[in-house]
Amino acid sequence: MKCNKMVSDSPKNRQNVKASILQGLAAAWPICLGYIPIGLAFGVLAQKAGLNPVEIMLMSILVFAGSAQFIAVSMLSAGAGAAAIIVTTFAVNLRHFLMSSSLAVFLGDTTRKKLSLFAYGVTDESFAVNHARFSRKTWGPDPALVVNHTANVAWVASTLIGGYSGKFFPEGAFGIDYALTAMFICLLIFQLKGRIYVITAIISGLAAAVLSLSIPGSSYIVLASIFAATTALGIRKWIQ
Amino acid sequence: MTIHTGYLWIVLGMGLVTYLPRWFPLFFLARRNLPQWLIDWLDLIPAAILSALLVPELVTVGTPRHLVLWRPELWVALPTFIFALKTKSLGGTVVVGMVLFWAVQRVV
């Protein structure tokens, strides 16, 4: 414990901490920009469904998952029971299992305590931003942790502001509703590192579009992803 | 401001079932040597998930979803895609996408 304290107070270590924070913030700002309109919209909707700002904040802190929170609020206002809401949340958020598995490949040297802290902030957006940097080998667990928790702060704050005052931002201002879509477009391009990735993306996009039209809910994301990755790997094996 | 007890239990349950799938693979897979086919498969998952998240957002609307190809979300995606491909800048792409979407909505 004493030794640990000495290490964390050394100037070198403080410099590393500062560098990780700056790197993390530089990577996280597009996510924060994307979360603001969605967080505000969620806050407004939750308030209309009868939740007070403390209750809204509590859900954003404990759950931290955009689409599941929207669905839960609409189920609450429709009078759904606790079990139905929790089971639905589980189904909607199961895709994070795939994301965490994919990130785990890069986090072999990280302590389990830090992994547990990191896991809390795995979202569609933080996953994609961190994964792109990890695979370019320019990333470590510390800046990745900063990305997750900065995004979390932006999410909690914007849902809280939305819950207090719905008319804080004019609707659709500055095209901000498109921020996350544009971010996904760029993050997808980061992932297209070769022909097999392009094939995977095409199969997955087509499968997701078709499945989303035919099955209710958001399970099409996981189903299409597993199908596409497996098929693409099969195609590569077959060609070789 | 008080928190309704029933609500507290719902939110705690939601938090638990959301955290566990995020935590389990990191806690149990990270410090283990995975077989090569699994590493290869997991390497394809980000491209698959991002495409599965993106494409339905561009070409479908409503609940239940139906196909609509002629919408601003899709038109704006094409120049945004080209910009991202050329610049590889995440922040720049977000800003360009927002500006284009805003402009298209004002014109249409």
Query: What is residue A6's predicted lDDT score, i.e. its pLDDT?
Result: 43
Contact B41, A197 (CB under 8 A): no
Domain identity same for A107 and A159 = yes
- B13 contacts: CB under 8 Å, gap ≥ 6: A82, A85, A86, A89
Domain identity same for B25 and B49 = no
Domain identity same for A141 and A237 = no
Contact A154, A35 (CB under 8 A): yes
**A154: in domain:** yes
Contacts of A167-176 with C-beta under 8 Å, sequence gap 24+, read: A168/A40, A169/A36, A169/A37, A169/A40, A172/B102, A172/B105, A174/B98, A174/B99, A174/B102, A175/B97, A175/B98, A175/B99, A175/B100, A175/B101, A175/B102, A175/B103, A175/B105, A176/A33, A176/A36, A176/A37, A176/B98
Structure tokens at A100: 């965490």
Domain identity same for B78 and B90 = yes
Query: What is residue A167's predicted lDDT score, i.e. its pLDDT?
Result: 55
Domain identity same for B62 and B94 = yes
Beta carbons of B60 and A186 less than 8 Å apart: no
Q: Is B106 on the interface with A (CB under 8 A)?
A: no
Beta carbons of A76 and B18 less than 8 Å apart: no
Domain identity same for B7 and B42 = no
Domain identity same for B14 and B55 = no
**A184: in domain:** no
Domain identity same for B40 and B26 = no
Domain identity same for A32 and A67 = yes
Work out the pLDDT band at B46, boundaries 50, 70, 90: confident
**A9: in domain:** no
Q: Which of A29, A187, A201 sits opposite B48 (nearest CB)?
A: A201
SS (H, E, C) A76-137: HHCCCCHHHHHHHHHHHHCHHHHHHHHHHCCCCCCCHHHHHHHHCCCCHHHHHHHHHHHHCC
- Closest of A92, A59, A127 to residue B25, by C-alpha: A127
Query: What is residue A3's predicted lDDT score, i.e. its pLDDT?
Result: 43
Beta carbons of B56 and A220 less than 8 Å apart: yes
Report, as ranges of residue numbers, the positions in chain A whose pLDDT lies below 70: 1-10, 166-174
Q: Is A225 on the interface with B (CB under 8 A)?
A: yes
**A68: in domain:** yes
Residue A17, number of CB atoms within 10 A of its CB: 13
Domain identity same for B41 and B7 = no
Work out the pLDDT band at B97, boundaries 50, 70, 90: very high
Mean pLDDT of chain B: 90
Q: What is the dihedral of CA B97, A173, A218, B18, to 10 degrees?
A: 100
Query: What is residue B11's predicted lDDT score, i.e. its pLDDT?
Result: 97
pLDDT in tens, B7-33: 999 999 999 999 999 999 999 998 888
Query: What is residue A173's predicted lDDT score, i.e. its pLDDT?
Result: 65
Residue B14 belongs to domain spanning: 1-32
The pTM of this model reads 0.79
Domain identity same for A126 and A164 = yes
B3 DSSP assignment? -
pLDDT in tens, A54-110: 999 999 999 999 888 988 887 888 778 898 889 888 877 888 999 999 999 999 989
CA–CA dist B24, B28 (Å, integer): 6
Domain identity same for B91 and B44 = yes
**A39: in domain:** yes
B4: nearest CA in chain A? Answer: A55
Domain identity same for B57 and B5 = no
Provide the domain count of chain A. 2
Residue A203 belongs to domain spanning: 192-240
Domain identity same for B56 and B25 = no
Domain identity same for B57 and B103 = yes
Question: Residue A140 in 3-state DSSP?
Answer: coil
- DSSP string of A38-67? HHHHHHHHHHHTT--HHHHHHHHHHT--HH
Domain identity same for A131 and A94 = yes
Q: Helix B5-29 vs helix A66-77: angle between axes, to the nearest 10 degrees? A: 150
pLDDT in tens, B59-75: 998 888 888 888 899 99
